[in-house]
Every structure is written in C-alpha cells, then in structure tokens.
Amino acid sequence: GESVGLHLPTLSVQEGDNSIINCAYSNSASDYFIWYKQESGKGPQFIIDIRSNMDKRQGQRVTVLLNKTVKHLSLQIAATQPGDSAVYFCAENEPGTYKYIFGTGTRLKVLA
C-alpha cells in the first residue's frame, strides 16, 4: 500500500509535458542535496544530487537547480512519463553530520 502520505502537495502533469517540483530546505549551511523518488511501498530511489558550489546539474531527463540565496531546490523532469508518477523528496546534508534531512515530499501524477 501507500507508504507516504495522504496530505502531500500534488502536481498533476500531462504525459509528455515538463514537470517542476520545488523544495525549500532548512539549513543555509547544508552543502549537499539529493532528490529521491519514492514509489508506493518502496524505498527512496536516488535521482540526482548537487553540491552547494553548483547552481545547476543535469542528468538524463532531469535537472536540479539550486538557489542558495532563498534556500530553494527544484527538480525539472523533461517529457514526463507515466513511470515518473511517484512522491519526490529533496534531502539536505548538513556539513559535518551523518544525517540527511528530508523535505515533506511532492506527489507527481502523470495524466495520460
């Protein structure tokens, strides 16, 4: 069954459109960030990461943007596919610590 929440913000996009998922992180000292995808009943799956010395990083069909001024991350998915439907979390790593702090998540629904 669903492993993540009933009250997540939801983004609905048409198949083939681009998706933009946003995240506000909490600590201005955080220097490493990861976007994870979580499908129902599964563990978080690594999508893409970015370090604080970068503003943008591109992967296959995904781009992460980092705005340190306003502590904001975004994940852009190009040509969204049905298989992209999931909950997306950003996670921040505070320097000198072992833990990652996860955001609340956004549910992406891809409409056929």
Partner 1 sequence: EPEVTQTPSHQVTQMGQEVILRCVPISNHLYFYWYRQILGQKVEFLVSFYNNEISEKSEIFDDQFSVERPDGSNFTLKIRSTKLEDSAMYFCASSAGRSGNTIYFGEGSWLTVV
Q: Which residues bind partner 1 (CB under 8 A)?
A: 2-7, 31-32, 34, 36, 41-46, 49, 51, 89, 91, 93-105
Total residue length of the chain: 112
What is the three-class DSSP state of 17?
coil
Minimum gap (Å) between residue 22 Cβ and partner 1: 16
Minimum gap (Å) between residue 52 Cβ and partner 1: 10
Please say which residue, 16 or 95, places its beta carbon nearer to partner 1.
95
CA distance 61 to 55: 17
Rg (Cα) of the chain, in Å, rounded?
Answer: 14
Please say which residue, 83 or 96, places its beta carbon nearer to partner 1.
96
Minimum gap (Å) between residue 33 Cβ and partner 1: 10
Say if CB 20 and CB 83 are below 8 A apart. no
